[in-house]
Amino acid sequence: MTATVIDGKAFAAKVRAKVGTHVARLKDEHGITPGLAVVLVGEDPASQVYVKMKGKMTKEVGMLSLEYRLNADADEDDVLRLVADLNANPEVHGILVQLPLPKHMEEAKVLAAIDPAKDVDGFHISNVGLLATGQKAMIPCTPLGCLMMLRDHHGDLSGMNAVVIGRSNIVGKPMAQLLLGDSCTVTIAHSRTRDLAEVVRRADIVVAAVGRPRMVGAGWIKPGATVIDVGINRTDDGLVGDVDYAPVAEVAGAITPVPGGVGPMTIACLLANTVTACCRANDLAEPDGLTA
């Protein structure tokens, strides 16, 4: 068996095209342009690359792109004041504070200052609680992208046995909540899980998000299972996922590659979340297929 490759790059392009269509409709029918504000503190090289890419793609879909850069030695209060201004700005529908922040700043405090309705990263504790209780929330981009790809590949996920390897607040926990929302039977596995390989082997869907290169081997996978690899690890061999791709692809029914799998979906879902936030702010129907 050779797994079907779930092409995240191609799927992300479709999502961005759908976002662009909704943006054009909002402009033409309502005179509204969704706006995304990105705050970058310091000069972390990876963060600068991400912010530049986000700005480029935001403009490509026709949205308003606002970028704010502060020095690494800026006071935490400076960031909080900027966030407060963006919260009050009606042209801004989504706010993203690029992480990591400098060590003298408290990330949780800064994220908590963002208006939950504009929290397009889905990290605010209010959105975490809304998602956990099955209510309307802003959803973290990476898990949302994984869910979109799973729905596209399988259609109905109801009744499927899903194992999420990893319990982070950014991916593992919200991923489990989303799968529960689609009526999967969900297990969250982690480093303390006993007989981890056996637990994973029972799954129809495996989402690997642990940050350990090639941790998940072919012997962990039930024949025909769908494997979503969230991991991005830099090794001497280049970028690799949490899944040992080539052997697993011989067992799985479908698999995401690294790179080119989940990664491209994260920015696409950031754009989707901004459009969703804009529609909610203006009491308009939410775009179909761009949220959970």
Rounded to whole angstroms, how far apart are CA atoms 244 and 213? 8
pLDDT of residue 237: 87
Rounded to whole angstroms, how far apart are CA atoms 33 and 21? 12
Active-site pick, 54, 118, 173, 222: 54
pLDDT of residue 46: 87
DSSP secondary-structure letter at 287? P
Whether 48 is catalytic is: no
Active-site pick, 18, 98, 119, 229: 98
- Render 1-49 in DSSP notation, one character per residue: --PEE--HHHHHHHHHHHHHHHHHHHHHHH----EEEEEEES--HHHHH
Active-site pick, 115, 119, 121, 244: 121
Rounded to whole angstroms, how far apart are CA atoms 10 and 16? 10
Whether 121 is catalytic is: yes
Whether 98 is catalytic is: yes
**What are the 10-residue block averages of pLDDT along the chain, 292 residues in total?**
93 98 98 98 90 95 97 96 98 96 96 98 97 96 98 98 97 98 97 96 98 97 98 93 98 97 96 98 94 93
Neighbour order of strands in the sheet with 94-97: 64-70, 35-41, 94-97
Rounded to whole angstroms, how far apart are CA atoms 19 and 275? 7
